[in-house]
Chain A
Amino acid sequence: MVAALSGSKLRARRMALGLRQGDVAQAAGLSASYLNLIEHNRRRVPPDVLSRLAAALSDTPEAFADGGGGAALDDLRAVALAWPAAEFARTDEFAQRFPGWAEAVLAMHHRSMAQEAAIAAVNDRMSHDPHLSASLHEVLSAVASVRSTSVILAETDDLEPEWQARFMRNLDQDSARLAKGAEALVRYLDSGGQIDAQGSASPQEEVEAWASGLDWQIASADIPSALSASARDMARALQGDIRADHASLPNAAFRAAIAAHGPDPRAIASALSAPPFAAFRRLAFAPDLGLGLVACDGSGTLVLRRPIPGFSLPRFGAACPLWPLFTALARPMQAIEAVVEVGAAIPNAPRFSLRAFGMASHPAGFGGPELRRAMMLIIPASAQAAPVQGVGATCRTCLRTHCPARREPSILAGAPERNSAPNSGL
């Protein structure tokens, strides 16, 4: 609250004593009009005048001092200065007569300042982020080359076959570069939705970046204090899971199970009487196996992501609904497996074997909610692995045509006909 001002306090005291303005002014050696201005907070009260007025009102000057709202008043004056239409000279009066409104104006002013600071932080990140700059440069360079080259091909009637072949090859190279650059850009912008006021990432991203920096060997690692408090909590929880995984799947037994069953988390968990998700994590975090992992909760939100080259995991927004992960979420306790091809249906597209498993739990017992969670192990597969299901990372960046599961058009597809119509969701 903007605190009460001297003038208002003087006026209240005078009226409480039943004195007339003229009488008090005369007793203090002031004109009645000057006291009127003071009482309406239109004039500041010099200390000597305040002493005389206080004496006239049988009180001490301290009783009429400004109520500690100096900083708030300064802010209010700054707001008034920034708005030419505002009556700056009447700022004190406004604060006193309409303290609720003054507080609302100040609250909005402070919120606006905080938002400006957040925007400046994000803008700074966008301006100076080397990843963004590199992605933009890559895209613009490829676009420039494609545009010049395609115009040459389209408008040069007598183009020699050698030049024609050379330019066709260049177009092919640049279109591939363009697709990669655009994907990188979209991934970056997707993550931008999670930038907070300090310009940093979400706690989950912080944890994943920290774990990734240690190649996910975090069981006994120190959690850096540089992480946010939320991220440290999440890191401790993950560390706890990983330590429990090591306890239930000791290294020698775990390695023997891999030798016997391959990277099959259900078989390994069953052979060693371990929780299934422990086997998923042990396999994914083994530094020599080169496997990826993604986990989701009952809403389908990705809660843990260990990506591997060739299989993009969206950092923000919903993942591809064709992943076996979501089938496993809907069918708890069933092992779901699929061989998939990622991205556009092109020759030599990378293939992966995806093994997923979902579980339901009731941590609050009967009457409590059922919680579901699913995990999916991502295993590089040979180019001959079949049969193959086409999947993507997320609809926004997926170039697969005529996908029955598409939610929205891909922003990487130029012409609408390249996409199937988005699914109505019904």
Chain B
Amino acid sequence: MAGHILLIEDEPNIAEAIRFLLGRDGWQVTVLTTGQGAIAEIARLCPQLVILDLMLPVRSGLQILTDIRADPATQDLPVLMLTAKGQERDREAALAAGVSNFMTKPFDNKEMCAAVRTLMGGD
């Protein structure tokens, strides 16, 4: 069974591109376009990886990451965070909150796929 990835990204076209890329790599991808209800979805879907945009409506990526790390059931769940250039302070905060890795927008497709493979326990 393919590994399951939850992608939380409010830009639909970016989400579509990532879903396509990861789908071609064999991963099953579920997309959420808002931070609202993200924790409940993580509990329901039990993904092996969360790809999390930093700037999200309703609840920020940083808040969601903090909640993930606070829950014993998800504290070790790999989280790949998408940030934009110029968000260095937020990146530092995410690092302190326990993010697994970052991708900076605009990102390289191959680097994105490689980072996902690594976090999913591949190469």
> Which of A137, A140, A148, A173 meets B17, CB within 8 Å?
A148
Cα-based distance from A173 to B11 in the complex (angstroms): 12
Quick one: which of A207-225 are within 8 Å of B by CB?
none
The residues of B that contact A151 with a CB separation of less than 8 Å are: 108-109
> Which of B16, B24, B105, B106 meets A170, CB within 8 Å?
B16
Q: Which secondary structure dominates chain A's binding surface?
A: helix
> Which of A137, A141, A156, A166 meets B14, CB within 8 Å?
A141
- Whether B11 lies near A145 (C-beta < 8 A) is yes
Q: How many residues of A contact B (CB 8 A)?
A: 21
Interface size class of B (residues with CB under 8 A): 10 to 19
Asked, given contacts A136-B84, A136-B86, whether A141 binds B17 with beta carbons under 8 Å apart, the answer is no
Count CB-based A-B contacts (< 8 Å). 56
Cα-based distance from A144 to B55 in the complex (angstroms): 14
> Which of B18, B84, B85 meets A148, CB within 8 Å?
B18
- Whether A141 lies near B105 (C-beta < 8 A) is yes
B118 close to A (CB within 8 Å): no
- Whether A145 lies near B17 (C-beta < 8 A) is yes
> Which of A136, A144, A173 meets B106, CB within 8 Å?
A144
A152 close to B (CB within 8 Å): yes
Chain A min CB distance to B103 (Å) = 10
Cα-based distance from A151 to B18 in the complex (angstroms): 12
- Whether A145 lies near B86 (C-beta < 8 A) is no
Quick one: which of A133-180 are within 8 Å of B by CB?
136-137, 140-141, 143-149, 151-152, 155-156, 163, 166-167, 170, 173-174
The residues of B that contact A152 with a CB separation of less than 8 Å are: 17, 20-21, 109
- Whether A148 lies near B106 (C-beta < 8 A) is yes
Chain B min CB distance to A97 (Å) = 48
> Which of A140, A155, A163, A173 meets B13, CB within 8 Å?
A173
Among B14, B21, B86, B107, max chain A CB count under 10 A is at B14
- Whether B14 lies near A148 (C-beta < 8 A) is yes
- Whether B16 lies near A166 (C-beta < 8 A) is yes
- Whether B106 lies near A140 (C-beta < 8 A) is yes
Chain A min CB distance to B27 (Å) = 16
Asked, given contacts A152-B20, A170-B16, whether A144 binds B107 with beta carbons under 8 Å apart, the answer is yes
> Which of B18, B84, B86, B108 meets A141, CB within 8 Å?
B84
- B-side residues, CB < 8 A to A, are 11, 13-14, 16-18, 20-21, 24, 55, 84-86, 105-109, 112
The 3 closest A-B pairs by CB, nearest first: A144-B105, A148-B17, A144-B106
